[in-house]
């Protein structure tokens, strides 16, 4: 199966100039400019945990597998270059599943100029699992970190949040282009993508920076899916926005004097200021006359 499938894949891959040697040899060779730093990340998604192969489109699953990695690069303000794709396939219909999943991977790679430069394929008696290592580049010392936030920074969030289980967790757009525009035109002090929930990922950013946040809950952008999910389960739409996770939006902090300019810019993706960083550590709900401490919550991956 492997040789015939790799022949098919070589015929489908896009030949991009950054990859000198791609699929077909023992390893890939990537041309790398001396003036750039390597930025890498790896994520694995598994049937029954991150998607349901018997319910979800294989192409959508392939999109998600690559897009979660692209979201990590967006949070670092890095430019995507190439990806290595390792797929563990269930024995039944392995070739058909691999081809269908790769349709989604290849389409997303084309959208973001990513070369599929290599990987691995194996068949076994187990669930579909896809592990992708993304390779990106950034100017030296220009990557956004979780640890760069400062007290009095404005805290911005892209898009809208909550209810991702209805569709967004398979169909989101990684905010690579938004990050590139912000990086090239504004000062961003810190960033993180929302993979596990707004409050949990905010807490991680604040902890890394030694800050806290005064959060204006009435400004948190609640998605239509969060509203729809609340009608189904009787929950609170805001609670879904705060803790559902898998939104893959960006949390960004910037100097207070830049916030209005960023919010007024035409960036193609809505941004909302949801709070302000403070030297008082922790997550705080800002009310007219008091602060109420919030507990970080969201999806925590098993060990």
17 or 246: which leads in pLDDT: 246
Q: Is 193 flagged in the annotation as binding?
A: yes
Specify the 3-state DSSP secondary structure of 103. Answer: helix
Q: Is 111 flagged in the annotation as binding?
A: no
Q: Are residues 150 and 87 in the same domain?
A: no
Residue 288, pLDDT score: 84
Supply the pTM of this predicted model: 0.93
Residue 226, pLDDT score: 97
| Contact between 15 and 28 (Cβ < 8 Å) | no
29-30 and 37-46 strand pairing: unpaired
Q: Is the pLDDT of residue 303 over 50?
A: no
Distances (CA, A) of 64 to 43, 55, 222, 270, 283: 10, 15, 22, 22, 30
What average pLDDT does this structure show over 146-161? 98
Q: Is 103 flagged in the annotation as binding?
A: no
Q: Is 62 flagged in the annotation as binding?
A: no
Q: Is the pLDDT of residue 302 over 50?
A: no
Q: Is 41 flagged in the annotation as binding?
A: yes
The number of domains in the chain is 2
Q: Is 31 flagged in the annotation as binding?
A: no
166: number of CA atoms within 13 Å, CB side?
A: 15
Q: Is 299 flagged in the annotation as binding?
A: yes
Cα dihedral sign for 71, 75, 77, 83?
A: negative
Q: Is 50 flagged in the annotation as binding?
A: yes
Q: Are residues 150 and 179 in the same domain?
A: yes
Task: Provide the token pair at 272.
Answer: 């909302």
CATH assignment of the domain containing 45: 3.30.1330.10
What average pLDDT does this structure show over 103-121? 93
Is 301 inside any structural domain? no
Last residue of a domain, one of 103, 138, 173: 138
CA dihedral of residues 182, 183, 187, 189 (deg, nearest 10):
110
Backbone angles phi, psi at 156, to 5 degrees: -115, 155
Residue-range definition of the domain harbouring residue 228: 146-294
Last residue of a domain, one of 138, 163, 178: 138
Is 303 inside any structural domain? no
Distance CA 240, CA 234 (A): 11
Q: Is 26 flagged in the annotation as binding?
A: yes
Last residue of a domain, one of 138, 171, 202: 138
pLDDT, averaged across the chain: 93
Q: Is 257 flagged in the annotation as binding?
A: no
Q: Is the pLDDT of residue 299 over 60?
A: yes
Model confidence over 157-196: pLDDT tens digits? Answer: 999 999 999 999 999 999 999 999 999 999 999 999 999 9
């Amino acid at each position: 199966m492997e040789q015939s499938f790799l022949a098919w894949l070589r015929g489908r891959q896009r030949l991009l100039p950054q990859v000198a040697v791609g699929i077909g040899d023992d390893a890939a060779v990537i041309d790398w400019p001396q003036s750039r730093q390597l930025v890498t990340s790896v994520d694995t998604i598994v049937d029954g945990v991150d998607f349901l192969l018997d319910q979800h489109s294989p192409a959508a699953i392939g999109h998600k597998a690559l897009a979660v990695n692209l979201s990590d690069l967006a949070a670092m303000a890095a430019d995507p270059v190439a990806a290595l794709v390792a797929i563990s396939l269930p024995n039944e219909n392995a070739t058909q599943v691999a081809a269908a999943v790769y349709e989604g991977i290849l389409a997303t790679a084309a959208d973001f100029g990513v070369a599929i430069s290599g990987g691995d394929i194996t068949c076994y008696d187990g669930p579909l699992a896809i592990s992708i290592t993304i390779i990106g580049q950034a100017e030296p010392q220009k990557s956004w970190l979780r640890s760069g936030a400062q007290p009095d920074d404005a805290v911005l969030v892209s898009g809208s949040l909550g209810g991702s289980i209805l569709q967004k967790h398979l169909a989101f757009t990684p905010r690579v282009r938004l990050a590139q525009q912000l990086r090239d035109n504004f000062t961003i002090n810190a960033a993180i993508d929302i993979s596990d929930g707004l409050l949990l990922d905010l807490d991680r950013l604040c902890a890394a920076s030694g800050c806290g946040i005064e959060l204006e809950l009435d400004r948190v952008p609640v998605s239509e899916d969060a509203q729809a999910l609340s009608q189904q389960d009787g929950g609170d739409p805001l609670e879904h926005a705060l803790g559902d996770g898998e939104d893959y939006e960006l949390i960004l902090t910037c100097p207070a004097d830049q916030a209005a300019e960023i919010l007024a810019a035409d960036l193609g993706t809505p941004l909302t200021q949801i709070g302000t960083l403070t030297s008082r550590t922790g997550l705080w709900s800002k009310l007219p006359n008091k602060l109420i401490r919030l507990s970080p919550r969201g999806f925590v991956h098993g060990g």
